[in-house]
């Protein structure tokens, strides 16, 4: 079994052949969006220099980029693992919210625990809540064969209302002026790696998680069966793999990863539940997962690149008044051009 | 205090009004789905429809031009979907999601570019009711069915037309055959690309119109959160409507009923926290999908591209 999972050795030619279409797709996306930006009357070189280089100009911006990178990479992993089984987890947003709720609940309810227990409890609660939120659609798929794209999405909308309820009625902070909970106990705060500007240890957990996910998908029997289920369900079934269980498992793992992202946001960055804290991580996580074509090793790189674009785009909106949505179009275009590159390569 | 009869009439009228975006988006989804083309970009296409309809109506002063522009924009998204899946054979879900993202970004971008950031949102007049002479005078039924905005009439007629097209014409038979068995349809000489292109474009136009309905009837303006999951609900509705126009129509009525109910209860200030009422449509949808899962079918080739040279279905 295990020798089947060994990847082909990557020689230089293979790397170049894999990388060049990506580079061309990125350039093409920037060119296409550039025409659009120019047509809207904005200064294209200035806008692009802001988008691409802001992250590397100041320590603050660089750390901001790393802080964005963490949830983006985890969300992308949460999309990529079910994608291995050919399942689409569009419920990452709700799963992240539930992870954030879990961590907040632990950080408030268990406030008396010592820090060495409280922080792990908060993170575990986040992972568990995220996994459970994904488990319901996963079970509906397993038991009734209901399309997971729909049910995972619908769970997002339920999560929005639940978040609003918790941030206003349960632990609401009336002084905040926006649906927000009271802060979690300081014992649940993630320790800092760099104190100013603050960078929390969540990035270490995230990178470690990426390694674990890689080992699981590429070096274990279960991970191999997951990939086999996705590429040829019928053959896998004949071979004796319980494909429905693999679908179920992959979605629950995806939910756990998104839940971890939410827990890190709460314990590391916000220290409370804030409505809207999930930002546009769902869309970006999916885009990253699709750009990386589900390749676990490529995901951290793509996630970092997208984090750079995002931080650069907000700077561009602040300084040049160019709508930040431009960069979202660039990201969608990168994905579309990569799909096109695949089509050309197939011919 | 108005009488119970009048209350029921006004409630029923409201349900008919609320049904429209569900009907349009779902029938659009169904149409392409019946040829095996599964569109998952609804949420994004509806946003573009809402944004474009609002902007064009605002700038031109004509609601009709707004509707036309929304249909055109939706049609373009449908064309892109058909091109990528039917001609280029890209995975339907992947390109669908990519188009969803494009729509998500484009809708707000266009609004910000044309309107900018304002304290007070600019408004367009909402679509007025058009009473049908004679029929609207029938007690009860007249007010509910024949004193509505034009898109309510359009949604009803569209559903009847699609039912007729699908089940009573040879065109409809061919269309359904492609979704069930593309290989067999192909060997009968039915052009799969033509059917998929046309249904994707027309379906996209309907989804764009569904989006246009939101600013034109509900809000009078565009906001990034205006669609609020209706695009995804429309897909769910198409599923438990068994990809059949008549069932989709009744399903839309049911959805509209839940939406109106949740809103009414919220306004009345019932003891349930309003957040749980807001969850109602999504939870109800999942419950219905469980009940429908054993009873309704889906087109066998749904979500699969057809490779004519190799005569096989592709993921």
Query: What pLDDT, on the 0 to 100 scale, is given for residue B58?
Result: 96
**B307 lies in some domain:** no
Distances, alpha carbon A137 to alpha carbons A126, A154, A287, B176, in Å: 18, 9, 21, 29
pLDDT of residue A5: 44
- B221 within 8 A of B122, measured Cβ to Cβ: yes
Nearest to B273 among A40, A147, A165 (CB): A165
Enumerate the residues of chain A whose CB falls inside 8 A of the CB of residue B228.
157
**Interchain proximity A169–B286, CB inside 8 Å:** no
Please tell me the distance from the alpha carbon of residue B195 to that of residue B238, in angstroms, as a whole number.
19
Q: Which residue of B has its CA nearest to A321?
A: B116
Whether the pLDDT of residue A10 is over 60: the answer is no
Evaluate the CA torsion angle A260, A262, A265, A267 in order and state its sign. negative
Residue A15, both tokens: 């790397």
State the Cα–Cα distance between residues B209 and B207, nearest whole angstrom.
5
What pLDDT is stored for residue A4 in this prediction?
43
A124-128, B112-116, B260-264: range with highest mean pLDDT:
A124-128
pLDDT tens sequence across A60-94: 999 999 999 999 999 999 999 999 999 999 999 99
pLDDT score for A159: 97
pLDDT of residue A297: 94
Per domain, the residue ranges of chain A are 7-42+323-347, 59-321
- Quick one: CA dihedral A193, A194, A198, A199, positive or negative? negative
CA dist list (Å): B100 to A46, A52, B9: 28, 25, 38
Query: Does pLDDT of A13 surpass 70?
Result: no
Q: Is residue B173 part of a domain?
A: yes
Give the lowest-confidence range in A61-70, A98-107, B305-314.
B305-314
Whether the pLDDT of residue A7 is over 70: the answer is: no
Residues 6+ apart with CB under 8 A from A226: A81, A84, A85, A217, A246, A249, A250
CB nearest to A339's CB, from B98, B102, B279: B98
Which among A145, A153, A323 is the nearest to B232, CB-wise? A153
Residue B209 structure tokens: 């119109």
pTM over 0.90: yes
Residues of B in contact with A283 (CB under 8 A): 101, 104
Mean pLDDT of A288-305: 95
Considering only CB atoms, which chain B residues are within 8 Å of A150?
A: 232, 235-236, 239, 289
**Mean pLDDT over each residue of chain B, to the nearest integer:** 92
Mean pLDDT, residues A169-194:
94
- What pLDDT does A3 receive? 40
| Residue at B311 is within a domain | no
Percent of chain A exceeding pLDDT 70 equals 95
Q: Which domain holds residue B91?
A: 2-296
pLDDT score, position A189: 96
Q: Which secondary-structure segment (H or E) carries A9?
A: none
pLDDT at residue B313 in the model: 85
- Candidate from A65-74, B59-68, B250-259 with smallest mean pLDDT: B250-259
**A15, pLDDT greater than 90:** no
List B307's β-bridge partners, or say none.
Answer: B312
Asked if the model's pLDDT at residue A225 lies above 70, the reply is yes
Residue B141 binned pLDDT confidence (cut-offs 50, 70, 90): confident
Q: Mean pLDDT over residues A167-175, rounded?
A: 93
Shortest Cα distance, chain B CAs vs residue A14, angstroms? 23
The mean per-residue pLDDT over the stretch B103-124 comes to: 90
What's the alpha-carbon Rg for chain A, to the nearest Å?
21
Which pLDDT does position B265 carry in this prediction?
78
State residue A1's pLDDT score: 36
Taking only the tens place, the pLDDT of each residue in B75-91 is 999 999 999 999 999 99
CATH number at residue B166: 1.10.3470
CB contact under 8 A, A140 and B276: no
DSSP B135: G
Q: Which of B33, B77, B109 should be substituted to probe chain A, the one whose Cβ sees the most A Cβ atoms within 10 Å?
A: B109
Q: Is 60 exceeded by the pLDDT of residue A188?
A: yes
What would the mean pLDDT of A93-99 be, rounded to a whole number?
98
- Inter-chain CB proximity B93 and A149 less than 8 Å: yes
Q: Judge whether B264 lies within some domain.
A: yes
Could you please report the per-residue DSSP string of B203-261? HHHHHHHHHHHIIIIIISS--TTSSTTHHHHHHHHHHHTTT-HHHHHHHHHHHHHHHHH
Host H or E run for residue B90: none
Compute the nearest-CA separation of A273 from chain B (Å): 16
Q: Among B110, B95, B3, which residue's Cα sits nearest to residue B55?
A: B110
pLDDT at A163: 97
Cβ-based contacts under 8 A for chains A and B? 109
pLDDT in tens, B155-204: 999 999 999 999 999 999 999 999 999 999 999 999 999 999 999 999 99
B67, B212 in Cβ contact below 8 A? yes
End-to-end CA, chain A: 33
Q: What mean pLDDT do residues B102-130 have?
A: 90
Chain B interface residues (partner A, CB cutoff 8 A): 40, 84, 88-90, 93-95, 97-98, 101-102, 104-106, 108-109, 112-113, 228-229, 232-233, 235-236, 239, 273, 275-276, 278-279, 282-283, 285-286, 289-290, 293-294, 315
Beta carbons of B98 and A336 less than 8 Å apart: yes
Interatomic CA distance for residues B99 and B91, integer angstroms: 12
In tens, the pLDDT along A202-219 reads: 999 999 999 999 999 999
Average pLDDT of the segment spanning B102-116: 92
What is the pLDDT, as a whole number, of residue B178?
95
Number of domains in chain B: 1
Chain A hits for B273, Cβ within 8 Å: 165, 169
Tell me if B139 sits within 8 A of B6, measured CB to CB: no
Q: Would you identify the CATH topology of the domain A59-321?
A: ABC transporter involved in vitamin B12 uptake, BtuC (1.10.3470)
Average pLDDT of the segment spanning A284-303: 95
Q: What is the pLDDT of residue A9?
A: 52
More confident residue, B131 or B35: B35
Structural domain contains residue B33: yes
Q: What is the mean predicted confidence (pLDDT) over B216-236?
A: 93
- Phi-psi region for residue B242, left (φ > 0), alpha (ψ -120 to 50) or beta? left
The closest alpha carbon to A258, from A135, A137, A98, belongs to A98
Contact A88 B315 (CB under 8 A): no
8 Å CB contact of B40 and A40: no
Name the token pair of A200.
């929390």
């Amino acid at each position: 079994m295990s020798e089947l999972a060994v990847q082909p050795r990557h020689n230089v030619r293979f790397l170049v052949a894999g990388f060049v279409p990506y580079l061309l797709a990125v350039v093409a996306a920037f060119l296409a969006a550039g025409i659009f930006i120019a047509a809207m009357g904005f200064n294209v070189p200035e806008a692009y220099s802001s988008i691409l280089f802001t992250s590397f100009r100041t320590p603050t911006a660089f750390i901001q980029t790393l802080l964005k990178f963490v949830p983006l990479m985890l969300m992308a992993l949460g999309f990529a693992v079910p994608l291995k089984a050919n399942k689409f987890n569009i419920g990452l947003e709700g799963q992240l919210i539930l992870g954030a709720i879990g961590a907040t609940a632990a950080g408030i309810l268990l406030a008396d625990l010592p820090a060495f227990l409280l922080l792990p409890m908060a993170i575990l609660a986040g992972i568990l809540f995220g996994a459970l939120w994904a488990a319901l659609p996963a079970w509906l798929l397993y038991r009734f064969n209901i399309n997971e794209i729909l049910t995972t999405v619908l769970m997002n909308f339920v999560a929005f209302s639940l978040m609003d309820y918790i941030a206003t009625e349960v632990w609401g902070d009336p002084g905040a002026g926006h649906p927000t909970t009271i802060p979690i106990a300081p014992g649940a705060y993630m320790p800092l790696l760099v104190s100013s500007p603050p960078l929390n240890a969540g990035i270490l957990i995230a990178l470690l998680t990426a390694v674990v996910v890689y080992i699981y998908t590429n070096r274990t029997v279960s991970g191999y069966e997951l990939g086999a289920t996705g590429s040829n369900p019928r053959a896998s079934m004949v071979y004796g793999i319980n494909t429905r269980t693999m679908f179920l498992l992959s979605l629950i793992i995806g939910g756990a990863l998104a839940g971890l992202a939410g827990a890190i946001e709460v314990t590391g960055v916000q220290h409370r539940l804030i409505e809207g804290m999930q930002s546009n991580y769902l869309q970006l996580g999916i885009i990253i997962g699709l750009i990386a074509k589900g390749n676990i090793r490529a995901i951290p790189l793509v996630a970092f690149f997208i984090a750079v674009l995002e931080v650069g785009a907000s700077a561009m909106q602040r300084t040049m008044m160019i709508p930040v949505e431009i960069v979202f179009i660039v990201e969608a275009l990168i994905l579309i051009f990569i799909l096109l590159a695949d089509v050309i390569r197939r011919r | 205090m108005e009488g119970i009869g009048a209350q029921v009439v006004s409630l029923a009228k409201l349900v008919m009004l609320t049904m429209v975006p569900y009907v349009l988006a779902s029938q659009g989804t169904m149409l392409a789905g019946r040829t095996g083309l599964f569109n998952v970009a609804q949420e994004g296409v509806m946003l573009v429809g809402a944004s474009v309809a609002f902007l064009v109506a605002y700038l031109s002063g004509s609601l009709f031009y707004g509707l036309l522009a929304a249909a055109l924009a939706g049609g373009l998204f449908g064309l892109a979907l058909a091109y990528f899946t039917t001609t280029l054979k890209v995975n339907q879900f992947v390109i669908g999601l990519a188009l969803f993202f494009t729509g998500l970004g484009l809708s707000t971008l266009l609004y910000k570019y044309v309107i900018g950031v304002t304290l007070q949102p600019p408004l367009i007049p909402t679509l007025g009711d058009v009473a049908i002479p004679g029929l609207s005078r029938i007690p009860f039924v007249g007010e509910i069915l024949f004193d509505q905005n034009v898109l309510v009439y359009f949604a009803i007629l569209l559903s009847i037309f699609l039912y007729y097209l699908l089940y009573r014409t040879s065109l409809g038979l061919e269309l359904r055959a492609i979704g069930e068995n593309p290989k067999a349809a192909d060997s009968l000489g039915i052009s799969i690309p033509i059917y998929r292109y046309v249904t994707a474009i027309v379906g996209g136009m309907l989804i764009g119109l569904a989006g246009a309905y939101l600013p034109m009837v509900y809000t009078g303006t565009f906001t990034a959160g205006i669609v609020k999951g209706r695009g995804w609900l429309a897909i769910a509705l198409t599923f438990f409507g068994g990809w059949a126009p008549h069932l989709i129509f009744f399903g839309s009525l049911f959805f509209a009923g839940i939406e109106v109910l949740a809103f009414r209860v919220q306004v009345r200030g019932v003891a349930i926290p309003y957040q749980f009422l807001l969850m109602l449509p999504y939870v109800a949808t999942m419950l219905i999908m469980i009940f429908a899962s054993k009873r309704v079918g889906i087109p066998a080739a749904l979500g699969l591209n057809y490779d004519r040279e190799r005569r096989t279905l592709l993921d």
